[in-house]
């Protein structure tokens, strides 16, 4: 594969490129439109507290997903050739706990940064992970006979809801 098209690779590399761009937007993008006020007062205090809680829960969910996935971890959506299907640990509660944790963390960071645009970026990240997980789940169904049944039992991105 030539250097110009490495990100178009067969394992979903382009998803990783977009994911990194979205992370940057959540972390560094403007939080308000020019001329719009930043949050202040009681709303700002509430957003900081809720942001810290969401960020903490998101971080724990990411760590739980990483530990549960173990040697199966890969940055790209296509599962490794020698990977095993994981249904234990965080994967008992949600099919994509790392994505879920990152989404919660993005909403938490957006609340900490104190602007509506940040929440919009986090929502875009959620939509992106929903799309990415659909592609990933197609590959997981191809690889593992029991994945379709697992999909019926466990929610995708939000435990007990979605």
What mean pLDDT value characterizes the chain?
93
- Please name the residues in contact with 3: beta carbons below 8 A apart, sequence gap of 6 or more: none
Contacts of 131 (CB under 8 A, 6+ apart): none
| Mean predicted confidence (pLDDT) in 78-100 | 97
Per the CB < 8 A criterion, the answer to whether 100 and 107 are in contact is: no
Handedness of CA 22, 65, 59, 107 (dihedral sign): positive
Tell me the two tokens of residue 36: 């719009």
Q: What percent of the chain has pLDDT over 90?
A: 86
DSSP one-letter code for 79: P
Which of the two residues, 46 and 33, has the higher pLDDT score? 46
| 110-162 per-position pLDDT tens digit | 999 998 999 999 999 999 999 999 999 999 999 999 999 999 999 999 988 99
Which pTM value belongs to this model?
0.91
Question: Quick one: the chain helix, strand, coil %, rounded to 5?
Answer: 70, 0, 30
Q: Which domains does the chain have, with CATH numbers?
A: 36-153 (1.20.120.1630)
pLDDT band at 36 (very low <50, low <70, confident <90, very high): confident
Nearest-angstrom CA–CA distance, 107 and 92? 23
Spatial separation of the C-alpha atoms in residues 105 and 8, rounded to whole Å: 28
């Amino acid at each position: 594969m030539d250097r110009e098209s490495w990100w178009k690779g067969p394992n979903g590399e382009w998803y990783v490129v977009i994911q990194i761009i979205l992370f940057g937007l959540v972390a560094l993008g403007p939080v308000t439109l020019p001329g719009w006020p930043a949050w202040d007062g009681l709303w700002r205090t509430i957003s900081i507290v809720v942001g810290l809680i969401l960020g903490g829960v998101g971080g724990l969910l990411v760590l739980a997903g990483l530990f549960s996935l173990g040697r199966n971890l890969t940055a790209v959506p296509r599962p490794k050739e020698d990977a095993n299907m994981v249904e234990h640990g965080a994967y008992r509660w949600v099919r994509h706990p790392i994505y879920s944790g990152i989404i919660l963390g993005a909403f938490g960071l957006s609340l900490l940064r104190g602007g509506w645009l940040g929440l919009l970026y986090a929502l875009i990240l959620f939509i992106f992970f929903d799309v990415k997980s659909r592609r990933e789940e197609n590959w997981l169904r191809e690889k593992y006979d029991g994945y379709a049944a697992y999909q019926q039992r466990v929610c995708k991105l939000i435990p007990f809801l979605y």
